[in-house]
Structure 1
């Protein structure tokens, strides 16, 4: 049977869920990864291997057992196929065993690491390059060691002999591919070792620069600048992706325009679906490098801050201060400058080419994170919009949300492009962000609503979602209606009116204000004659007395709009009768100096916007009262609250007709109602 036909037959069998692959089929499969096979052949073999491993694991569920039954089953299947090959002296047999174990690391790292740890396996691998040190075999051994160095379990098995061999090959000037493969193995080994030490001792302070070898970084950069075959470029880019978490490497990369130019050239400008797997691997590495260079220092939780404090104390006690430079290079100023250098080098064009060309989850996440960091600085947002950033972010968001089983099940990392889009929508008009096509605005409502309601969204993400939705509702009543109709959004926003954080509370109030003015549905829900509507108005009234000026402006604006409806005025009258707070709050809006003052109480400052809103509210509310008995009571309460004096001051001091006219109308009503 022809080789491709045989692979197709095995693939069909594994896709159907069969784990009873025949010995001769497995013996054939392990030969499918040798370098002489075509890339298409190896790609199909990877599918078979992946399906087979998944099938075995499903047949041997772990249920928390140790050792893992699935891993044990796979080791029993593959060890008899791999180890005898490594015991051979024939180079072809050695290549079969080494290339298959490398592939197994990429498909099922647990079983591969377990086999790698077997007695004599690493010795046999290292003996192979002593007995038959061809360039091809050495390259594949370096790739296998690179895979092993990427996992804690197998990394622990790396011997000093293997490390010395890698160091020797990383200095080779004859074979750039081998040099790159050895260098990436060493980088993984150093950085992985640093992570292992930190994991074993949480109080230990491990500076990223401690795990970075500057000479290896130089090798990687030179390989990119000089160009070369796909294999060495892929290794160089992967090595830099690992190393670029180090602040000093970030600085070095961002300050090298020649390197950035060559790096960005690696991103092909082709139509979707035309990028080969090897190129997609390089593309992903390029985007990880960009994402690392653009990354701001993460915001720590209170618990994380305490841990960092303990680490700093431990470091000071040990008399070690070598991470001070790294901390400085990771501050906001340095990150902003690095981002500006990448923008000057054309990084936005890289994003535009990357996502359509190779649409994978990893690439989408890297682009989304990088764009979020870029638009964190307001000065960069215009450039991002000019390069179609909003459209690109919407495509990332739509793909991620369509793949999630539910909104709440969406991995919070996928909120990063939503947050980036929200930042753009906050500082620019909806038409600048989304263009004249109103459908794009409609498409943005769901992700903003999702970020607001996601159980793992941060306080900043909630705040920015509210701000973005507020800006969207300003586009048109139709958009406001769509926002109001979004699933459970309105109840969430109303709940956030009571949030402890003043900025979140302000943003929620501003959105409610826009929805009351732009959505008939929301307006009616606040002006109906029922207890629910009265409770809502009571919250808005209370926020008219908030400490934050913008919150007071938004809440008083919402109240002024609501007072055009009899239901809202009736609710205010009921609240005045029950709590006697409506008239004092209106006085504070119009002229705080006229309000009764408690000892040591600091009254809020006056503001023209509050004056206008307060007078409109007072006029509409008071003129809605028809019962003469109630009028007389309210007149006295208005005097006691200082409202009459406040209105008189306005008439004397302000000339604007839109303010004076309703003030005079209200004073006339009060005079006639005595």
Structure 2
């Protein structure tokens, strides 16, 4: 058969121009639909043709159920053309004995029908299920269970009601434990249970009635096949050989996955039912070991990945998986080979997310609230956070995942994956980026390109995903040279990183209490970018200056410091200088704040503010504004008396620029510096300094201030 053009789920996305042979182009929409249904009911076609027919039916039903796409031609609603026999025919294509491609198309067609038909469709589906289960033949069980497994995600409430019908779940174990069993019935039943675990009441019912049976399947691995005795050959069912107490590998794998799902989500029994729930004797660690061994086998890889996606929620399992280098390499290799937008891709990414995710950091207020809740619920639970989930353990797991070579594979999947898988990819990179030592390698392997692509792909309404992406980008750009990331042959413009970083400076509308860590790390990354050229500095100034003004006054010392450091680099741009020295009242206010920060308690903040003032004082309009402030000169001279050589350097540069300003501004500067004790301050600076550059600048400033040294006015010599 020729290959199919597929959508995310491997389902044909193309819609044929005609409805196939035998349909006249002028036939009414009703006639076209009836002919299509007749061909599907007749069957006997190649899978490729069946998929096309099912795909066409999906489009007809979907278009007809929406007012915008419904045909203006008067016609009976198309879903009403399908009676109970038509619906059963459609459901027949969901049978597990059909090819996966056909089942995929049939799932979409059934979903479109149920959406269009409403209560009538639910009634047909319910009647089908009860009828087939009531017949109680192996063939009918396979059919009914297959349909339930496929349709559960489509109409979970409807199938859950059928699943929870009195006596249904409780009879599954005895049914499957008959002396002579059908492998395909077991497989169909387990696929149904696997899907049913998504629903809480169904999951509790499975836990209650099926745990013992599931554990028997998982543990029952015979040393050699036991053949059906020849006198019993007449008991062979329609679906194939029936064997005594034998479970196929696929059945054992499915049973293990269901057990993993049951154990991953704690039970919430109602009062009086605790003793009726069967306790699990197979531990999650046992299941994890089984899944690991299954990963390298092509026939069981999907079950392995699905099971580990749940098992890896457990801290002990996380540690075991992350410490197994061979397993991690196999998992990354499986992810590399998995098709885009496939269950295998999503499952493998989920495992990596579980291994690498850090516990959320709590503020002091949040910690207090957590403690109060723990006291209030003391009678219910006093469980403490598992130490295997602390930052130290997660950091080691992140290092192990990174060393397994995951970044290049994530880069590839980010280009072709769904939005859901891209969210997982970003989450993994975000966790890895917390380790400073590997940030440069993440960038080298394409991590920055991945994050910029993700940021542009996520819709603006998905604030959480965009902010996580931007935060990961900020972390990487803190620790890397921007010219290495954006320079050379790379097609990435440096400015493409600015908009994501600026997003982090704004409040997050999805949280009650603002987290300042993303703000701080964004400021550090922007400072790094602003060290390159005005092509990076000017967009930051134009887009974010109001936020920077606000952050200068932050009550958080680290945020204030990072903001001043960014301003120090931005001050190399004339656009930033104008914000402080254009003679306006707002500019004067900004300069007042900057001068105050040069006198702050925090040394790093004083150093950054001093650097900004050193650049700013190269402009005579800025010098004039400094001289207008009452304490402006005093603050500059205080820098010259600092114990730190770096701060003295900034101070003497500022003083030299003030006394060297042209014309009357320079003359005024000389007078004010002298009056503020500038000569004594600079002489003290000479005694304290060892740097040749600081000494030379200090001498030049003194020559401007001491009349015998060549003048008491401004201007240059």
* TM-score, shorter chain, exceeding 0.5: yes
Answering whether residue 700 of structure 2 is matched by residue 661 of structure 1, we say yes
CA spacing shift, 1:426–1:533, aligned 2, 3 Å? same
Shift of 1:249: 0.7
Question: Is 2:527 aligned against 1:470?
Answer: yes
Aligned residue for 1:247?
315
Find out whether 1:363 has 2:421 as its counterpart: yes
Q: Is residue 256 of structure 2 the alignment partner of residue 183 of structure 1? A: yes
8 Å CA contact retained: 1:375, 1:381: yes
Q: Following TM superposition, by how much is the alpha carbon of 1:75 offset from its aligned partner in structure 2, in angstroms?
A: 5.1
1:297 aligns with 2:359: yes
Deviation by residue 1:277-330 (Cα, 9 ceiling, x = unmatched): 6xx211221222122222223212445423543576689999977x68x31x22
Aligned to 2:236: none
Deviations 1:388-426 (A, max 9, x none): 2222232222222xxx1x3xx333134333222222211
The answer as to 2:305 corresponding to 1:237 is yes
1:378 corresponds to 2:442: no
Residues 1:98 and 2:154 are matched in the alignment: no
Say which SS state the counterpart of residue 474 (structure 1) adopts.
coil
Q: Of 681, 684, 691, which residue of structure 2 is paired with 1:649?
A: 684
Among 105, 126, 130, the residue aligned to 1:79: 126
8 Å Cα contact 2:614-2:654 kept in structure 1: yes
State the secondary structure of the residue aligned to 2:594: helix
Does the CA-based 8 Å contact 2:172-2:210 persist in structure 1? no
Alpha carbons 2:682, 2:698 under 8 Å: kept: no
2:448 alignment partner, one of 380, 387, 390: 390
Partner of residue 633 from structure 2, selected from 579, 583, 598: 583
* 2:557 paired residue among 495, 502, 508: 502
Residues 666 and 317 of structure 1, relative CA distance in 2, 3 Å threshold: farther
CA distance in 2, matches of 1:106, 1:663: 81
2:289 is equivalent to residue 218 of structure 1: yes
Distance 1:215 1:479, change over 3 A: same
Cα drift, residue 74 of structure 1 = 7.5
Residue aligned with 1:156, SS: helix
Query: Are residues 1:410 and 2:462 paired?
Result: yes
| Offset at residue 18 of structure 1 (A) | 1.0
DSSP-derived class of the 1:106 partner: coil
Aligned to 1:611: 648
Pick closer, same or farther for the CA change 1:498–1:382 going to 2, 3 Å.
Answer: same
TM-score by length of 1: 0.81
Stretch deviating more after TM superposition (181-190 or 156-165) = 156-165
Cα-Cα RMSD: 3.6
1:79-137: CA deviations, max 9, x gaps? 33433332222333333322222222223434433443333443465565467841112
Q: For residue 158 of structure 1, what is the aligned residue in structure 2?
A: 206
Aligned counterparts, 1:104-183, within 5 A = 104-123=151-170, 129=176, 133-158=181-206, 160-173=208-221, 174-183=247-256
Larger mean CA deviation between 144-153 and 14-23 belongs to 14-23
Q: Please give the alpha-carbon distance, in whole angstroms, between the structure 2 residues aligned to 1:307 and 1:245.
A: 25
Measured at CA, do residues 665 and 117 of structure 1 come closer, stay the same or move farther in structure 2, by a change above 3 Å?
farther
CA deviation string 1:7-52 (max 9, x = no partner): 2342113332518523435433322321222333222233334445
What is the CA-CA distance between 1:165 and the residue it aligns to? Answer: 1.9
Q: CA deviation at 1:217?
A: 1.7
Tell me the residue number matched to 1:46: 107
Alignment equivalent of 2:96, drawn from 32, 35, 38: 35
- Check conservation: 1:150, 1:192, Cα contact below 8 A: no
- 1:602 is aligned to none
Q: Secondary structure at the match of 1:385?
A: helix
Given candidates 55, 77, 97, the residue that maps to 1:8 is 55
CA–CA distance in structure 1, aligned partners of residues 570 and 621 of structure 2: 18
Partner of 2:65: helix, strand, or coil? Answer: coil
Task: Determine the structure 1 residue equivalent to 2:612.
Answer: 558
Partner of 2:481: 429
Task: Decide which of 327, 330, 333 is 2:389's aligned counterpart.
Answer: 330
Mapped partners of 2:122, 2:678: distance in 1: 84
C-alpha change, 1:560 and 1:260, in structure 2 (3 Å) is closer
Matches of 1:493 and 1:55 in 2, distance apart? Answer: 53
> Contact conserved, 2:639 with 2:647, CA < 8 A, in 1?
yes
How many Å separate the matches in 1 of 2:281 and 2:560?
44
Moved more, 662-671 or 141-150: 662-671
Gaps of 5+ in 2: 1-37, 41-49, 67-76, 222-246, 272-279
1:452 paired with 2:505, answer yes
Unpaired segments ≥5 residues, structure 1:
57-69, 201-208, 592-604
> Kindly tell me: are residues 115 and 559 of structure 1, through their superposed partners in 2, closer, same or farther at Cα, counting changes over 3 Å?
farther
Provide the residue aligned with 2:494 in structure 1. 441
Higher helix proportion: 1
Decide whether the 8 Å contact of 1:149 with 1:155 is kept in 2. Answer: yes
1:362-390 CA distance string (max 9 Å, x none): 32222222222222112222332332222
**Alpha-carbon distance in 2 for matches of 1:2, 1:666:** 102
Note closer, same or farther for the CA distance 1:659–1:86 as it changes in structure 2 (3 Å cut): farther
Q: Contact 2:374 / 2:382 at 8 angstroms: preserved in 1?
A: no
Q: CA–CA distance in 1 between the matches of 2:522 and 2:349?
A: 26
Q: CA deviation at 1:138?
A: 1.0
Question: Distance between the aligned counterparts of 2:572 and 2:292, measured in 1?
Answer: 57
How has the CA–CA distance of structure 1 residues 373 and 268 changed in structure 2, closer, same or farther, with 3 Å as cutoff? closer
Asked whether the equivalents of residues 181 and 235 of structure 1 are also in contact (C-alpha less than 8 Å), the reply is yes
TM-score after normalising by structure 2: 0.76
| More displaced 10-residue stretch of structure 1: 472-481 or 382-391 | 382-391
Contact 1:625 1:631 in 2 (8 A): no
Aligned partner of 1:596 in structure 2 is none
With over 3 angstroms needed to count, the CA separation of the structure-2 counterparts of 1:303 and 1:130, relative to structure 1, is farther
1:170–1:182: 8 Å Cα contact kept in structure 2?
Answer: yes
Aligned to 2:242: none
Q: Distance in 1 between matches of 2:674 and 2:455?
A: 56
Q: What is residue 405 of structure 2 aligned with on the other side?
A: 346
SS of residue paired to 1:2: helix
The total of aligned residue pairs comes to 609
CA contact (8 A) 1:651 1:664 kept: no
Shift of 1:252: 0.9
- On the 8 A contact 2:95/2:146 being kept in 1, the answer is yes
Distance 1:42 1:88 in 2: 23
